[in-house]
Every structure is written in C-alpha cells, then in structure tokens.
C-alpha cells in the first residue's frame, strides 16, 4: 500500500505557526519502505491514518520545533503537501461535511463552495440589505460564517428579534438593521466562539442574557460617527450611556 511520510518543522514553538515553517512529504511504495526510512533517520511516528479505499497510508512524524533538524529534513523531504495526502484530506472533509449537514450546521460545504444562498440559513427577518450585501461580498465571517452556526440557532434568533424594542433618547430605532450589523461584526464571530460547544437550550439562555449588550454594540457600530476602532467604540459607548434602552419581552 502506498505510504506518505509527512513532517512539519516549526520556526517557533508547538503552538506557533508561521510562513517560515517547513512542511514536507516523502512518498513510498509500501509501509515497509517508509518504516525503514524512518528507522534509518531516527524519525519518530506521531500518528498513522489508513484508507483502504484509497490504498493509502499517511504517517505523520512528531513535529519539530525551533527549526530542529531543519537542514536534514529539507534535504530528505519535498516541500509542500503530498498530492495523495490532499486526496485523503479532501475525502475526509467531504465525510465531515456530510455529517455536519445531518447535524443541522449551516456551514457544511467547502468554504469556496458556499454561496450567498447557503449563508442565509434559516434567517428571514435578519436578512436586511446590510446582511444580504455582506453575504454576497465573497468573504463571509461574523455570525454568518462561523462553523458552529446551526439552523436551530437561526430559528431562535428569528424568534427573539420579535421580542425586542430599542429606543434611543425615547425614540424607537430599527432593531433589524442594528442586529444585522452586529451579526456581520467580528464581535459576533468571537461570541460564537464562546457558544460552539453549547447545547441549544444553553445557547438560548446565553443569547437571552447577552441581547442588551449585543444590541448596544450593533447600535454603536451603526452610527455614522463610528470610526471602526476600539477607541471610537469606547467613546461612543460613553456618549450614549443611559440613552439606549432595550426592552426584551422574553424570559432572561
């Protein structure tokens, strides 16, 4: 069975990845040849993946850090990623995406295959011009592009939007536009990072509790005078402190 030995040499420590790292591979016609090569060069196996359908073994070596053995490894390995490994990784991604679709995730395709229609998920009210333009832009992050987003999250967001009224200086403002601005922000992406391991009921509880903060942030971001910086956000938060009132008609 064809075997590929794969190695990574990090310029920094284990948790530090950079463009200066070296990633290489070496192809063998059999596992026996690969293991012989590893023994002769004192390479240590980290993990092995076998795919009988592809008739392929992938042997990942332990990661070398701080450029240890880099000169030797660059002479022995081809720079880049093995074409066979890419086929394996592509197959595994398709398997994961098929399961993610079954599990109700919105993001269940390869990134370059996602369309604006896919990013709509189960949202309707939150699909303002702002969000439609955003998911049609080609680079989708925020809440919309988060890998943990599920259709059930969208459904609950749609439910909760109806139960919010926002006023500023006593005048009601467009809650849909404000919420849609937050959904496209990096804040929304970071917030989703914090819920990705939660069950639906936990997600609902956390969203309920965070709505005032999220909506306030969305309003601040919607202001023409917002300069897109953290300093500007803090300044406007101070200016509007006590002027933004968010009524939530649901249990918190």
Q: Give me the residue spans of the domains in the chain.
A: 2-82, 111-248
Instruction: Quickly list DSSP for 179-248.
Output: HHHHHTSHHHHHHHHTTTT--HHHHHHHHHHHHHHHHHHHHHHHSTT--SSHHHHHHHHHHHTTTEEEEE
- List pLDDT tens digits, range 148-178: 999 999 999 999 998 999 999 999 999 999 9
- List pLDDT tens digits, range 182-193: 999 999 999 999
- Determine the pLDDT at residue 16: 77
Q: Compute the average pLDDT of residues 45-53.
A: 96
Name residue, tokens 């536009």: 177
pTM of structure:
0.80
Task: Please give the distance of CA 83 from its chain centroid, rounded to a whole number.
Answer: 25
Q: Please report which confidence band the pLDDT of residue 44 belongs to, taking 50, 70 and 90 as the band edges.
A: very high
Residue 1 has pLDDT above 80, yes or no: yes
Mean pLDDT value across the chain: 94
- List pLDDT tens digits, range 98-156: 999 999 999 999 988 999 999 999 999 999 999 999 999 888 999 999 999 999 999 99
Coil, strand or helix at 14:
coil
Residue 250 has pLDDT above 80, yes or no: no
Q: Please report which confidence band the pLDDT of residue 251 belongs to, taking 50, 70 and 90 as the band edges.
A: low
- Determine the pLDDT at residue 252: 61
- Determine the pLDDT at residue 230: 93
């Amino acid at each position: 069975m064809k075997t590929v030995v794969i190695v990574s040499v990090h310029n920094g420590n284990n948790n530090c990845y950079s463009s200066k790292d070296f990633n290489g591979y070496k192809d063998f016609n059999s596992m026996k040849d690969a293991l012989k090569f590893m023994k002769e060069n004192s390479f240590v196996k980290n993990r092995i993946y076998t795919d009988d359908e592809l008739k392929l073994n992938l042997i990942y070596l332990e990661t070398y850090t701080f450029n240890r053995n880099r000169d030797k490894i660059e002479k022995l390995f081809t720079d880049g990623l093995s074409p066979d490994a890419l086929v394996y990784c592509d197959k595994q991604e398709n398997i994961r995406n098929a399961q993610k679709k079954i599990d109700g995730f919105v993001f269940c395709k390869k990134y370059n295959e996602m369309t604006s229609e896919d990013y709509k998920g189960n949202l309707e009210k939150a699909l303002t011009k702002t969000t439609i333009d955003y998911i049609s832009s080609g680079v989708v992050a925020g809440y919309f592009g988060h890998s943990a987003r599920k259709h059930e999250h969208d459904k609950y967001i749609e439910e909760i939007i109806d139960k919010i009224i926002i006023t500023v200086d006593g005048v009601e403002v467009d809650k849909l536009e404000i919420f849609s601005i937050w959904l496209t922000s990096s804040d929304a992406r970071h917030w989703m990072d914090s819920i990705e391991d939660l069950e639906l009921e936990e997600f609902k509880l956390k969203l309920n509790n965070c709505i005032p903060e999220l909506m306030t942030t969305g309003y601040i971001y919607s202001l023409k005078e917002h300069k897109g910086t953290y300093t500007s956000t803090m300044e406007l938060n101070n200016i509007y402190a006590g002027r933004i009132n968010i009524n939530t008609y649901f249990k918190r």
